[in-house]
Chain A
Amino acid sequence: MDTGKTGVVLGCAVVRAAWEDVCRVPALLDRVGECLFVTDEALRIVLANRAFLETFGKTELGEVVGASLGSVAACRIAAQHACGSAGMCADCGWLQAVATCTPDQRGDAECRILTCGGAAMDFQVRVYAAEAIGAPAPLYLCSLRDTFAEKRLRVLERTFFHDVMNLASGVRGLCEMLVDPDLRPEEGLTPMICESSQKLVEEIERLRTLRGAETGDLRTWVSEVSPSGVARAVVDRFREEAQSRHLQVIVECDGPVADLKADRDLLLIALGDLFRNAVEASSRGDRVVLRCVQEKERVVFSVFNPQPLSQEVRWHIFERSFTTKGAGRGVGAYRAKLIAERYLRGTVWFDSPEPEGTTFHLALPREAGCSRLT
């Protein structure tokens, strides 16, 4: 094995030497495409391969030796507490994998790291414990497989199959009724087909918009938009969902709200996502309020529902692959923030004080509220 050409990474000298001497691992590590690193018992990194360094934007091993995974990955929790010491670290997949592995048993877990920059990284973690001659305690060989793209695709597929297929199947069934002589459908079939077809188109459009927004291919069309008109249109779109939960829906416009210049369709999607989230988070009889108010040179839409968010939801609410709605549901908050902030020059945030409830805000500048004009 030609260790001289492999750019063998450096590490804490004593522990690394013991590891190298026994296993000759370092040269192998660099030849593996997956992220690999070795820690000591205190979970300080003593070795890492090239893939690991590249994943976290490092060039030299010296940048990571002695550091924790949390600090190397710029974990937002590790930025405030020592990696592994915060209460939330009990949910950390990597630490769980370390805790469950033994010399005879591999530790396996899914790990999500939220960075200080607001990004999310998802990994499948595997940890192997090993006794190394000369090392005072077991070493941990850890592998990280990036699963973020897989999760994104899974969410898209589940959303597509459920929402779009549900609508498409209904539309097809309604059309079949037109040609089935046995059925003799009751009144309202034609409007029902029109309405459900429209919903189908909107659902596809939302998906297309999301993909376009992520790839930067989204085209925008700016016009004069009435904030109160947008608010009413959003409520009308989700009236059926609100009724099925027996919700009280209120639209409030505080004082005169001037028109703004924005892409109306994108605004409808972003605000619609926030409103639908509020509806779906609400319990029977809850009051959901959609407000719009003019604050100097911006218009602020607020969507309130009386259910507060848990701490875990607050951390993850704007992540692409996060959902509170069970398997296959929900990219709404992520999409709303992406569209509003990247394409409408707006801002999306929330506050969720207990026990009052949760309010999502979407603020847009009144002028030139789009970043990509066509």
Chain B
Amino acid sequence: MASRAIRVVLADDEIHIRYLIRNIIRAEGYDVVGEANNGEDALALYRKHRPDLILMDINLPLKTGDEVLAEIMRENAEARVVMLTMVADIETVKRCLETGATDYILKSNSVEDIRRMLREIVEALPEEEGT
């Protein structure tokens, strides 16, 4: 487990999804350093905070999650971006993984499953980012 708090940027346009994921992130002991409800703000928050992890919805307004992902990857191929998604978006998820997304989390999963997946993702972070 990290000796310092993992810093996370969270982006989703649904307020109740942000509330849910934010509380899960905090319950795991990680910090939410920024939240966005559209893709442009998500990109700005990434540039501002350079977080350890970005949890980002695919269907964001103004700039979609896969567009933001591509821009982040162009700027920093080492960035860790996890897509938040629904089953219906699975084709887009495949494209995101090809673009460089670290992983994806299905929003339809139970809270327990989301927590477990989040822990596994953080544990897989490189040493310099996770310690």
A residues in contact (CB < 8 Å) with B:
158, 161-162, 165-167, 169-174, 176-177, 180, 182-186, 188-189, 192, 195-196, 240-241, 243-246, 280, 283-284, 327-328
- Taking a contact as CB atoms closer than 8 A, the residue among B15, B87, B114 that contacts A173 in the complex is B114
With known contacts A166-B14, A169-B108, A177–B86 Cβ distance under 8 A: no
Main secondary structure of the interface of A (DSSP, over half): helix
Q: A184 to B19, alpha carbons, bound, how many Å?
A: 12
Q: B124 at interface (Cβ–Cβ under 8 A)?
A: no
Q: In the complex, are the beta carbons of A192 and B19 less than 8 A apart? A: yes
**What are 19 residue pairs bridging A and B, where the CB atoms are less than 8 Å apart in the complex?**
A158-B88, A162-B59, A166-B14, A166-B107, A170-B20, A170-B107, A171-B16, A173-B107, A173-B111, A173-B114, A180-B112, A183-B111, A185-B23, A240-B13, A243-B37, A244-B62, A245-B38, A246-B38, A284-B62
Min CB distance A48 to B, Å, is: 38
- Taking a contact as CB atoms closer than 8 A, the residue among B14, B23, B40 that contacts A284 in the complex is B40
Q: B110 at interface (Cβ–Cβ under 8 A)?
A: yes
With known contacts A161-B86, A165-B86, A174-B20, A244–B38 Cβ distance under 8 A: yes
Chain B residues whose C-beta falls within 8 Å of the C-beta of A283 in the assembled complex? 62
- Taking a contact as CB atoms closer than 8 A, the residue among A170, A176, A240, A245 that contacts B110 in the complex is A176
Contact bitstring B9-26, A, C-beta under 8 A = 1, else 0: 000011111011011100
With known contacts A162-B88, A185-B23, A245–B16 Cβ distance under 8 A: no
Q: A183 to B86, alpha carbons, bound, how many Å?
A: 23
Q: A333 to B108, alpha carbons, bound, how many Å?
A: 29
Centre residue among A169, A177, A189 by max chain B CB count within 10 A: A169
4 pairs of A and B residues whose beta carbons are closest in the complex: A244-B37, A196-B16, A176-B111, A161-B88
- Taking a contact as CB atoms closer than 8 A, the residue among B23, B37, B40, B62 that contacts A183 in the complex is B23
- Return the chain A residue nearest B109 by Cβ: A169
Contact bitstring B80-118, A, C-beta under 8 A = 1, else 0: 000000111101000000000000000111111010000
- Return the chain B residue nearest A179 by Cβ: B111
Chain B residues whose C-beta falls within 8 Å of the C-beta of A165 in the assembled complex? 86-88, 108
Q: B27 at interface (Cβ–Cβ under 8 A)?
A: yes
- Taking a contact as CB atoms closer than 8 A, the residue among A166, A169, A280 that contacts B61 in the complex is A280
Min CB distance A103 to B, Å, is: 36
Centre residue among A173, A182, A245, A284 by max chain B CB count within 10 A: A173
Chain B residues whose C-beta falls within 8 Å of the C-beta of A182 in the assembled complex? 27
Chain B residues whose C-beta falls within 8 Å of the C-beta of A246 in the assembled complex? 38, 62
- Return the chain B residue nearest A186 by Cβ: B23
Chain B residues whose C-beta falls within 8 Å of the C-beta of A192 in the assembled complex? 15-16, 19
Q: In the complex, are the beta carbons of A195 and B16 less than 8 A apart? A: yes
Min CB distance B93 to A, Å, is: 13
Chain A residues whose C-beta falls within 8 Å of the C-beta of B87 in the assembled complex? 161, 165
Q: In the complex, are the beta carbons of B88 and A169 less than 8 A apart? A: no
Q: A210 to B112, alpha carbons, bound, how many Å?
A: 36
- Taking a contact as CB atoms closer than 8 A, the residue among B13, B16, B24 that contacts A244 in the complex is B13
Q: In the complex, are the beta carbons of B15 and A240 less than 8 A apart? A: yes
Q: In the complex, are the beta carbons of B24 and A183 less than 8 A apart? A: yes
Chain A residues whose C-beta falls within 8 Å of the C-beta of B13 in the assembled complex? 240-241, 244
Q: In the complex, are the beta carbons of A177 and B20 less than 8 A apart? A: yes
Min CB distance B38 to A, Å, is: 5
Q: A186 to B19, alpha carbons, bound, how many Å?
A: 9
